[in-house]
Structure 1
Amino acid sequence: VKSPADIPGFLKSFRAKQVLAVLAIAVFLIYPVYGAAMVQSTGSNDPDWAWIEACLWLKSSTPDPGMDYNAIYEAPEDGKLFDYPESAYGVMSWWDYGHYIETLGHRMPNANPFQAGIGGRRGSINETNVPGAAPFLTAQSEEEATEVLESIHPDPEKSGARYIMSDERMAVDIFMAMPEWTLDTEGYMQPYWTGDGYQYLPSKRYFDSMESRLHFLDGNGLKQYRLVYETWAYQTQEAGYKQV
């Protein structure tokens, strides 16, 4: 159809069978999934309000990393590192939340859902941990964790992250995914006799991890880490973990 005058001829070219075929496709293929598609397109529970609040605080209350969020940057040549400005810094969290930090907080996550920046081991427990989110969050001392952050940054005199973000899901529900990436999962949970039988509870190794120290203890007792912002505490399992 090149002009309005061509429309009558175009419509005459359609046959009733063709129209019925189109209607049949719409009824049998499109309509059954229309309701589900509308539900999925109206939003979800992720990110929840706590992550939204925390990322908006990150955007408005932390130093500008010196990189335009909307700019397009050229990738470095093969074998070379990107030339970040002196003001640039990373935000450490588990990879699930990297896109929240980037799109809501306008800051650079050290790990993201493309599973970049997780670190750890791939083939054997005898391998050296690649620096990243997994070895940092499971580190058993402040010194070990800081060494991971310093190893992330190409400049050995600087840390790869200035802020760490955590939520209860990281500390409780998905914590064991972190040591899975390091191939070192033993000893985080131990059986204890409670009077009603044995129950598996978090062990000393779990509470010595940086994730536990930062999330449950708010960084208390650490020299280089401190709590700077916390969203409103809703009903969680934190109280139970602190009483173990």
Structure 2
Amino acid sequence: MKFGGWYENPGKNIGMSHAFSLILVAMLVLFFVYPSLVMTAIGTANSPPQSRYVVVDPSGGYDLWMEALNWMRYNTPDPKLDYLATYEQPKNGTYPYPESAYGVMSWWDYGHIITYWAHRIPNANPFQAGIGGGKTHAPGASTFLTAKSEEEANKVLDALGINGKPGARYIVSNSYMAYSIQPIFAIWNDEENVAYDPVLLGQNVRPDPMSYYESVAYTNQEPFLIPGLKSFTSMEGKLHILDGNSLKQYRLVHETPINPNTEGGNREMFSKNVYNILYGGNIPVENSGVVKIFEYVKGAKITGRAPPNTMVTLTNTIKTNIGRTVRYSQNTSSDGTYEFTVPYSTGEPIAGQTIFDTKPAGPYTVTAGNISKPVDVREEDVLNGGTVTLDLI
């Protein structure tokens, strides 16, 4: 042994710089493979190491990210890109992706773990690539997650597309995105009325929570933060909080176990209660999977004849892989005919496509007046935009 940081053995010397490099590599391996151990040991810049018994899980739910993204790796189509290959940056800035390639949309914080665990291509990553937004509302993660409608979100994915396909096939979200940082998405997208700020607007201003992602409610004691209506009507809210109910081309295909002690997840039931009481919602006040994976599909059309000037409703119950049930419904008005586009098939997965473990419990039910009929939808029709005919007269 030599003092000064050198260890001597036959044929090899390891200096202090090498030792620090080895320690750094070990910490990186621990972070990716056992992130909860590292977070528990060193804490974060804003908080010291925490006991496992506190309200917020110090791992941040990264073990659940690992579960979700490993599921994605082995249950979604192979993009047929060599994970360990070296790729040179194209001179024109556009890489010639194969037809099999696709993107995974999430917030930029999670881009590297999507690459590392899922072996998939993130649309945004911690190099600050793919965020979009700004004064021009460029297509990217911020514009997709804050989109005010499904159609607007689809346009973002189409604008990011390659090879004539949308820029992302899957969307991955976690409770932290849904319940804690939606205002940040909106700031990146240069939106107004992101969050009520009493310092800027004055202590005596009573904000309209309908206009914000995050607002303030006043009680007899003191003001406290509540989610604004925008956090439920954004695409992030429609997907993660409302479980994709009524969406035509997005389906939940997998969710992780529940952990209400993760940051964001510890606000889930409170936020859903606010949605029901203040904004007229009607959703179960329950905890759900911390990380959820959605698939963007063409959707199958269900169409047919129905009595004119009649409301037509479509319903189903989605059963997730953790045993949770989610209500799915749409409605439209008939002018003699009706049409729905649905993202879920009632059949089994197709080899080489998404091997989903979340699916309808049975056929769809379509109702017009006093006539109700069941209808099944094939997976091929969901993936290829096929049509199923069902007359209600």
User: Does TM, normalized by the shorter one, top 0.5?
Assistant: yes
- The CA deviation at 1:113 is 0.7
* Stretches of 4+ aligned residues off by more than 4 angstroms: none
Larger RCO (alpha carbons 8 Å, 6+ apart) = 1
Matches of 1:175 and 1:80, distance apart in 2: 30
- The CA deviation at 1:64 is 0.6
Alignment correspondent of 2:258: 233
For the residue of structure 2 that corresponds to 1:166, the secondary structure is strand
Structure with bigger strand share is: 2
Alignment correspondent of 1:58: 72
Map 1:139-150; keep pairs closer than 5 Å. Answer: 139-150=147-158
1:90 and 1:161 in contact (8 A); partners too:
yes
CA RMSD after TM alignment: 2.6
For normalisation by structure 1, the TM-score amounts to: 0.77
- The CA deviation at 1:225 is 0.6
For the residue of structure 2 that corresponds to 1:190, the secondary structure is strand
- The CA deviation at 1:132 is 0.4
2:182 and 2:213 in contact (8 A); partners too:
no
Matches of 1:188 and 1:129, distance apart in 2: 18
Alignment correspondent of 1:96: 109
1:176 and 1:185 in contact (8 A); partners too:
no
- Work out whether 1:120 is the aligned partner of 2:136: no
One-letter identity of the residue aligned with 1:133 = A
1:92 and 1:164 in contact (8 A); partners too:
yes
2:148 and 2:234 in contact (8 A); partners too:
yes
Matches of 2:229 and 2:192, distance apart in 1: 13
1:58 and 1:105 in contact (8 A); partners too:
yes
For normalisation by structure 2, the TM-score amounts to: 0.49
Deviations 1:167-212 (A, max 9, x none): 1111122222211111215121233344544433212212101111
Alignment correspondent of 1:158: 165
Deviations 1:53-110 (A, max 9, x none): 0110010000011211112223212x35211111110000000100110011000000
- Work out whether 1:209 is the aligned partner of 2:227: no
For the residue of structure 2 that corresponds to 1:117, the secondary structure is coil
Map 1:186-225; keep pairs closer than 5 Å. Answer: 186=193, 187-225=212-250
For the residue of structure 2 that corresponds to 1:103, the secondary structure is helix
How many pairs were matched up?
209
Alignment correspondent of 2:174: 167
